[in-house]
Amino acid sequence: MKTAITELFGIQHPIIQGGMHYVGFAELAAAVSNAGGLGIITGLTQRTPELLAKEIARCRDMTDKPFGVNLTFLPSFTAPPYPEYIAAIREGGVRIVETAGRSPEQYMPALKAAGIKVIHKCTSVRHSLKAEKIGCDAVSVDGFECGGHPGEDDIPNMILLPRAADELKIPFVASGGMADARSLVAALAMGAAGMNMGTRFIATKEAPVHPNVKKALVDATELDTRLVMRALRNTERVLKNKGVDQLIEIEREKGGALKIEDIHEQVSGVYPKVMVDGDMEAGAWSCGMVVGLINDVPTVKELIDRIMSEAEQIIRSRLTGFLNGVEVKPPARAVA
Ligand X SMILES: Cc1cc2nc3c(=O)[nH]c(=O)nc-3n(C[C@H](O)[C@H](O)[C@H](O)COP(=O)(O)O)c2cc1C
Interaction site with ligand X (CB under 6 A): 18-21, 23, 42, 70, 72, 100, 121, 142, 145-148, 175-178, 196-200, 285-288, 290
CA separation for the pair 287, 209 (Å, rounded): 14
Report which residue type is found at 22. Answer: Y
Closest CB 116 distance from ligand X, rounded Å: 16
Beta-ladder partners of 174: 141, 195
Closest CB to ligand X belongs to which residue?
198
| Residue 191 CA: distances (Å) to CA of 4, 100, 157, 184 | 11, 21, 11, 11
Residue 75 or 253 with smaller CB distance to ligand X = 75
Question: For the chain, what's the residue count?
Answer: 336
Residue 41 or 308 with smaller CB distance to ligand X = 41
Closest CB 173 distance from ligand X, rounded Å: 10
Closest CB 149 distance from ligand X, rounded Å: 7
Q: Are 70 and 96 in contact (CB under 8 A)?
A: no
CA separation for the pair 179, 14 (Å, rounded): 13
Residue 72 or 128 with smaller CB distance to ligand X = 72
Residue 6 or 175 with smaller CB distance to ligand X = 175
Residue 168 or 284 with smaller CB distance to ligand X = 284
Residue partners of 120: CB distance under 8 A and separation at least 6: 98, 99, 100, 103, 104, 127, 128, 131, 136, 138, 139, 140
* C-alpha closest to that of 67 among 29, 100, 105, 101: 29
CA separation for the pair 229, 219 (Å, rounded): 25
Residue 298 or 321 with smaller CB distance to ligand X = 298
Closest CB 98 distance from ligand X, rounded Å: 7
Closest CB 167 distance from ligand X, rounded Å: 20
CA separation for the pair 170, 311 (Å, rounded): 24
Closest CB 102 distance from ligand X, rounded Å: 11
